[in-house]
Amino acid sequence: MIRIVPSLAILAGALASSPAFADNFDGPYVGVQAGWSQNKVDTLNTSIGPVVIDNSHDEATTGIFAGYNLKPTDKLVLSLEGSFNLGIDDAFIGGTTAIPTGFDPKYSFDVGARAGYLVNDATLLYLRGGYENLRAGVTRSDATNVAYDKDTFDGWSIGGGIERMIADRISTRIEYRYSDLGGDGEKFERHQALIGLAYHF
């Protein structure tokens, strides 16, 4: 008993002095992310004229993100966040046999907001939404001409995920996003599943 009581006291003191993970969800953070992305493109208005691609393509994606968490209550976390992403082997061809059309996403960025609920000190469930912008090259070919130019497509995105602290100031997260990047008379949808790793300052 003489040996056990001091040991318990030391353990209790160590637990009391250890940082709370909930404090990590308050303030700035930066991170990296990677995962799966699917671009589903039908009709687009481009600088080389209207094109019909009518195809979809799956690829890997990677990027960086940064944001700021604010805790108005013990359980609620509000965030502003921006990210920059690149696709890997993401060019594909659609159109028709007579007029094939190539679509080559170059990069994308987004800015948005998150609203999350702390299930416990280490686990955050959240919804997100915002603005997304994508730069892509478009190529249209026929029997007599090949036309190429770069265009910008933008729209809105929604999604959600779960983020968990795995160490002091370090978290990992899994997130799904849906983006609508088509304008009037256009159809351009994007689905993404991302895994991220973040450092909280």
Instruction: Report pLDDT for 163.
Output: 98
> Over pLDDT 90: what percentage of the chain?
72
Extract the tokens encoding 16: 């009391």
CA 8 – CA 24 distance, rounded (Å): 27
> Which residue matches tokens 């992305």?
37
Evaluate whether residue 177 is within a structural domain.
yes
Nearest to 181 by CA among 36, 49, 37, 35: 37
Flag whether pLDDT at 197 surpasses 80. yes
| Burial bucket for residue 7 (CB in 10 Å: 0-12, 13-18, 19+) | exposed
Banded model confidence at residue 20, pLDDT cuts 50, 70, 90: low
Evaluate whether residue 125 is within a structural domain.
yes
pTM of the predicted model as reported, rounded to 2 decimal places: 0.84
CA 145 – CA 147 distance, rounded (Å): 6
Q: Give the pLDDT confidence of 111-133 residue by residue, as tens digits.
A: 999 999 999 999 999 999 999 99
Query: Which CATH number goes with the domain that contains 56?
Result: 2.40.160.20
Evaluate whether residue 98 is within a structural domain.
yes
Extract the tokens encoding 63: 């990027």
Evaluate whether residue 5 is within a structural domain.
no
Tally of structural domains, the chain: 1
Evaluate whether residue 131 is within a structural domain.
yes
Residue range of the domain that includes 52: 20-200
List alpha helices for 60-200, DSSP H: none
Q: Give the pLDDT confidence of 4-18 residue by residue, as tens digits.
A: 445 555 444 544 444
List the beta bridge partners of residue 65.
31, 83
Evaluate whether residue 14 is within a structural domain.
no
Q: Give the pLDDT confidence of 127-169 residue by residue, as tens digits.
A: 999 999 999 999 988 777 888 999 999 999 999 999 999 999 9
Evaluate whether residue 9 is within a structural domain.
no
Q: Which residues contact 145 (CB under 8 A, 6 or more apart)?
A: none
Instruction: Report pLDDT for 19.
Output: 52
Evaluate whether residue 10 is within a structural domain.
no
